[in-house]
Structure 1
Amino acid sequence: MTIGDTEVWTVDQARQRARELQSQIDQGRDPRQVKRERIAADTAAMEEAKNNAEPALIAWHAYIKARSGKWRERHIASHEGMSRDGGRPVTQGRRIGAPAFTEPGVLRPLLDCPLREITRTRVAGWLSAEGARRPAQARLALSLLSTFLDWCSNQSAYKNQVNPNACARLKRDLPKPAARTDCLQREQLAPWFAAVRAINNPVISAYLQVLLLTGARREELAGLGWGDVDFQWKTIHIADKVEDAGRTIPLTPYVGQLLQSLQKINKWVFASKRAKSGRLQEPRKAHNQAIKTAGLPPLSIHGLRRSFATLSEWVEAPSGITAQIMGHKPSAIAERHYKRRPVDLLRVWHAKIEAWILTEVGINK
């Protein structure tokens, strides 16, 4: 072994160091191995200090990358939205009085802290503030955070930093979510259709009507492409939230007329020349104005889906039929494992539902 530079070490210092190394040899230790172990320990200590100081956001991104192959796009988007940095200009769908810049994701204040500092006390304080301001978001965020911490506790890089019980039993402190009940009643159909059909933008007008007449989810329908619509065999294929393969529903007569009336601008059925994505992004402003014009109580976009489920009972459509059209997850064992109705059977009832609604509205197909 080289003890040191002769320009730096004196002879006495070198002799002292040689005696120390000889002492290690006398104890059966190889000084070279002792040196390697010391360097490795120092490196590990520095790495641990670095990991303890870096924000949990680093581990969060590693978590998303590791798990995204098993997640649906919607679930990935939820995680990314929860951790966004905020501060970006709001260019679409900005409501009156709303901030001009995006807020940080609901989990961002916690993820900016080192993983070791995400303690039960800190999470409880965060939940108290967020739960009062946006309880639904806070409930989802707490669930995602708990799963993330469980993952970290099983990773060698993070298990010594994480507090795996930081979220335990905190959900009970949140108020129970109130079920929304906004829904179009039978007598409200005519004024709603009149106001929506009068919307200047034909894409938004058609989109809102198709939402009501199919019971589809907002993003499912907004992401409909021309390749998903079969005018010959009268079907629509929808990218389902629950089923990976999507679902196929009937293309009913009036919905078919609405879609055929739209101009083919790009691959999207509900296309937009202004949106970066090329498709409809924000129909709420036009819908809210139509609701106001019709003199109707407030109705959310999701309320149109709820309306389809409710109005279908007027024709006594079987609940399983309505659920399959809407893409609801089957609840009964028979529905989950045995009943898979062909689209022709769905068409019989879907056409009845559409015909009844149009009769109430006074629209002659």
Structure 2
Amino acid sequence: MLTKVRLTPSRIAAHTCPADASQAFLWDTATPGLAVRATAGKRAFIFQGRFAGKSIRITIGDTEVWTIEQARQRARELQGLVDQGRDPRLVKQEKIAADVQARITDEPALPAWRDYIAARSGKWSEAHAADHLKMARDGGEPVTRGRRIGAPAYTEKGILRPLLDLPLKGITREKVAQWLDNEATRRPAQARLALSLLGTFLSWCGNQPAYRNQVNSDACAKLKRELPKPTARTDCLQREQLASWFAAVRSIDNPVMSAYLQSLLLTGARREELAGLGWEDVDFQWQTIHLADKVEHSGRTIPLTPYVSQLLQSLPKINEFVFASKRAKSGRLQEPRKAHNQAIEAAGLPPLSIHGLRRSFATLSEWVEAPSGITAQIMGHKPSAIAERHYKRRPVDLLRVWHTKIEEWILSNANI
């Protein structure tokens, strides 16, 4: 039996759900289809009508938020839609979709960029994910480590931030070209990477229902040709510079930093590969090191040469990392550039980047006529020749023969 009354605040407040029922209705005599539905501890206005021969029920809102007159007006609007042959539920969905589309149309592209990172970062390397975050950062954070002489004390905005602050529809080919003109001369390498990441992001947006109607998927197409050709860096230690470099690096007060820099040169490893080395990755019995590798998912195993072995055994076991740091949140060495730059300056040597130590290993190995495939396998370079890629799998013992020769030659010329 339907309970019908003229709804008033007092009647609504007195309306409750019986203990033996899940809900109870109090129908309004002033507005057909309007009722108050009471459930356990909650009351809401609802509208009930018939559409296409079937009963439909729509929640209007909480009785603590909606007044009676507002609820009656909304019920009349819903009945009006039914009378026009329109399903109020579909009308609501269309309005929500239109509101979402309007929000996407007007808001910056930055939220879409964050959606993209959240959707894709699980398939990226840690470094690739970090590049995406850096490209869109707010900037203005104090530079607490690795600050070069004369460099700003605060971080810049991400290189892509000016574009990501625009709505997606505003990232047009003209806007990207204008941005590229400004960045290509100032920081061409970063601009090249940023353009590539932006193009992939826009292509992803073009495949997403929420963004496809707003994005210009080809905004980056063929713009890479506008960038200057990349120039290869050539910083590298020469044979006659080895003695000065080793003397300065061995004089660094921090033994962990000193051992790390020397090991970088003598292994040819990438900076982060060696910085993340754990004690469990070093086998002093069989004289091997297992390094993470950006090419080989399973990593690579290289020889632990005699001098590097001595360096590692001399280090204190602070935590699980070989090159540990008590101050870094990660527990391992993070920023070697400052100490290295100071050592280079003290030795009177020309500027040399951390990656230049890896380049130096590859170059100096030629003095002992080490086969290029041997050097590449130690360094973790992707094989280029067919024979290297498919047929040659050199055991660590064979690598050790040449790696030891390389180390002995470098140390001999460093007067060690």
Task: Give the aligned partner of residue 119 of structure 2.
Answer: 66
Task: Give the aligned partner of residue 232 of structure 1.
Answer: 285
Render the CA deviation track for 1:63-94: whole Å, top value 9, x for unaligned: 11221222111211111111121221211122
Cα distance, 1:32 vs structure 2: 4.5
Q: Distance in 2 between matches of 1:294 and 1:212?
A: 16
Q: Does 1:258 align with 2:273?
A: no
Q: 1:358 to 1:44 in 2, by over 3 A?
A: same
Q: How many residues align?
A: 347
Secondary structure of the residue aligned to 1:237 is strand
Task: Give the aligned partner of residue 48 of structure 1.
Answer: 101
Q: Distance in 2 between matches of 1:344 and 1:239?
A: 20
Q: Distance in 2 between matches of 1:155 and 1:312?
A: 50
The one of 135, 149, 159 equivalent to 2:202 is 149
Q: 1:240 to 1:21 in 2, by over 3 A?
A: closer
Q: Distance in 2 between matches of 1:250 and 1:182?
A: 26
Range that drifts further, 148-157 or 103-112: 103-112
For 1:162-177, list aligned pairs within 5 A. 162-177=215-230
Cα distance, 1:182 vs structure 2: 0.7
Q: Does 1:128 align with 2:181?
A: yes
Task: Give the aligned partner of residue 253 of structure 2.
Answer: 200
Richer in strand (by share): 2
The one of 349, 356, 374 equivalent to 1:303 is 356
Task: Give the aligned partner of residue 297 of structure 2.
Answer: 244
Q: Does 1:216 align with 2:269?
A: yes
Render the CA deviation track for 1:95-129: whole Å, top value 9, x for unaligned: 23222221121111211221111111111111111
Task: Give the aligned partner of residue 84 of structure 1.
Answer: 137
Secondary structure of the residue aligned to 1:243 is coil
Cα distance, 1:36 vs structure 2: 4.0
Q: Distance in 2 between matches of 1:53 and 1:73?
A: 32
Q: 1:7 to 1:228 in 2, by over 3 A?
A: closer
Task: Give the aligned partner of residue 381 of structure 2.
Answer: 328
Task: Give the aligned partner of residue 231 of structure 2.
Answer: 178
Task: Give the aligned partner of residue 37 of structure 2.
Answer: none
> Given that residues 101 and 210 in structure 2 are in contact (C-alpha distance below 8 angstroms), is that contact kept between their aligned partners in structure 1?
no
| Unaligned stretches of 5+ residues in structure 2 | 1-30, 35-46, 48-67, 71-75
Task: Give the aligned partner of residue 317 of structure 1.
Answer: 370
Q: 1:2 to 1:219 in 2, by over 3 A?
A: same
| Unaligned stretches of 5+ residues in structure 1 | 9-13, 25-30
Secondary structure of the residue aligned to 1:133 is coil
What letter matches 2:260 in structure 1?
Y
Task: Give the aligned partner of residue 158 of structure 2.
Answer: 105
Structure with larger Rg: 2
Richer in helix (by share): 1
Q: Distance in 2 between matches of 1:104 and 1:282?
A: 21
| Aligned-residue RMSD, C-alpha | 2.2
Q: 1:65 to 1:140 in 2, by over 3 A?
A: same
Q: Distance in 2 between matches of 1:42 and 1:309?
A: 63
TM-score under structure 1 length normalisation? 0.90
Render the CA deviation track for 1:36-57: whole Å, top value 9, x for unaligned: 4443333322221011122211
Q: Distance in 1 between matches of 2:142 and 2:271?
A: 24
> Given that residues 277 and 323 in structure 2 are in contact (C-alpha distance below 8 angstroms), is that contact kept between their aligned partners in structure 1?
yes
Cα distance, 1:3 vs structure 2: 8.8
Cα distance, 1:234 vs structure 2: 0.4
Q: Distance in 2 between matches of 1:293 and 1:124?
A: 44
Render the CA deviation track for 1:175-200: whole Å, top value 9, x for unaligned: 11111111111111111111111111
Q: Distance in 2 between matches of 1:7 and 1:205?
A: 78
Q: Distance in 2 between matches of 1:191 and 1:126?
A: 44
The one of 167, 187, 192 equivalent to 1:114 is 167
Render the CA deviation track for 1:120-156: whole Å, top value 9, x for unaligned: 1111111111112111001000000001111111111
Secondary structure of the residue aligned to 1:105 is coil
What letter matches 2:309 in structure 1?
G
> Given that residues 249 and 261 in structure 2 are in contact (C-alpha distance below 8 angstroms), is that contact kept between their aligned partners in structure 1?
yes
What letter matches 2:305 in structure 1?
T
Task: Give the aligned partner of residue 188 of structure 1.
Answer: 241
Q: Distance in 2 between matches of 1:345 and 1:286?
A: 34
Q: Distance in 2 between matches of 1:7 and 1:114?
A: 40
Q: Distance in 1 between matches of 2:69 and 2:338?
A: 80
Task: Give the aligned partner of residue 272 of structure 1.
Answer: 325
> Given that residues 188 and 227 in structure 2 are in contact (C-alpha distance below 8 angstroms), is that contact kept between their aligned partners in structure 1?
yes
Cα distance, 1:2 vs structure 2: 4.9
TM-score under structure 2 length normalisation? 0.79
Range that drifts further, 288-297 or 307-316: 288-297
Q: Distance in 1 between matches of 2:377 and 2:221?
A: 36
Range that drifts further, 253-262 or 97-106: 97-106
